[in-house]
Amino acid sequence: MAVVVALSALCFALLDLAPGSPAADILEARSGGRPPSAAAVTRLEHEMGMDDPLPVRYGRWAAGAVRGDFGVSYGSGRPVSEVLGDTVPWTLLLTLVAIVFSVAGAVLIGLAAALTRRAWLRRTIEAGMFVLGGMPGFVTSLLLLYVFAAWLQVLPSGGLSRPGEPVTLAVLLPHLVLPALALAFGHHFGTYVRLVETGVGRLRSAPHVENARARGLSRWTVTVRHLLRPGMVPFTARLGVGVGGLIAGAYATEMIFSWPGVGRQAIYAAREQDYAVLTAVVLVTGVIVIVANLLGDLAVAWLDPRVRLSGGGTHDVGD
């Protein structure tokens, strides 16, 4: 809670220091582009409560935010909660699918690199992850667009559906694939693969793994229970922290693929100086990142019981 309060207060203060006046922008938009007079700007700022001291305005905003009232969008005049309700679910959907792609891809490729006896395959995977790790996310997005939407024409280039087409699950899924792949493979995917490879590789000759093989356990059981589960701990810890970067990457991805998420809305709000929307977006994003970090910690504790605290210290669990 303290982190959320500090984050919202910092964002509120920084936006207050930004140049320009939202009231002036509103009046200019209402008049069709004519610059407003200083008296009109001052009058509207008073009506909006923008001439109150910063602590007063933040306290008023925070009191409303606790009740789910984030104010009114300066640009559209809609309640900010409605704007968030229209955009946050799409960003959460995109991020969750990207996480699924990222986890599945990192586990499969990392396992292949860690368990293969073919040196050429391991070197090929390492080289591919090196190239992918140095490629900006927007470049990955544009490459996927060119290959699958422009060249092969097997997937749509963006949006939720084609113009005039209703958004159903069957229509949505193909439109979701490219932005989710771009988000998954354009942000830290090479690092995730290396963490899985390293985590599993260091356990290949561990005593408990050799003991499991000697007991006649199946290769699947040895791989999943004794190699993959404990070997996933570094990757899972990094993934929980990396969700923040994933959400930040969703901003550019949503713009490239015309995905109607909160990142795209935040960019529009920044362009229009819609500080009410921007502050709420930062707060919601911060909460999502905090929850993701908590879930990552819980997943690490489930994968490796030795990290769980009992009383004053940790306790080991035998295999």
Percent pLDDT > 90 in the chain is: 25
3-state secondary structure of 168: coil
- How far CA 89 is from CA of 66, 93, 269, 295, in Å, comes to 20, 6, 18, 19
- Which pLDDT score is estimated for 315? 43
Provide the pLDDT confidence category of residue 311 given band limits of 50, 70 and 90: very low
Q: For 40-94, how does the pLDDT look when each residue is reduced to its tens digit (9 = 90+)?
A: 888 888 888 888 888 898 898 888 888 888 888 887 888 999 999 999 999 999 9
So what's the pLDDT on residue 85?
Answer: 93
Q: For residue 24, what pLDDT is reported?
A: 81
Give the chain's domains with CATH numbers.
Answer: 2-66 (no CATH), 93-307 (1.10.3720.10)
Mean pLDDT for 219-245 is: 81
Given a cut of 90, whether residue 177 has pLDDT beyond it is yes
CA end-to-end distance (rounded Å), the chain: 38
DSSP bridge pairs for 314: 309
Q: 286-307: string of b/e by CB count within 10 Å (b at 16+)?
A: bebbbebbeebeebbeebbeee
Residue in this structure with the two tokens 């220091």, named with its chain if needed: 17
Dump pLDDT digits (tens) for 107-166.
999 999 988 888 899 899 989 888 888 888 888 899 999 999 999 999 998 899 888 888
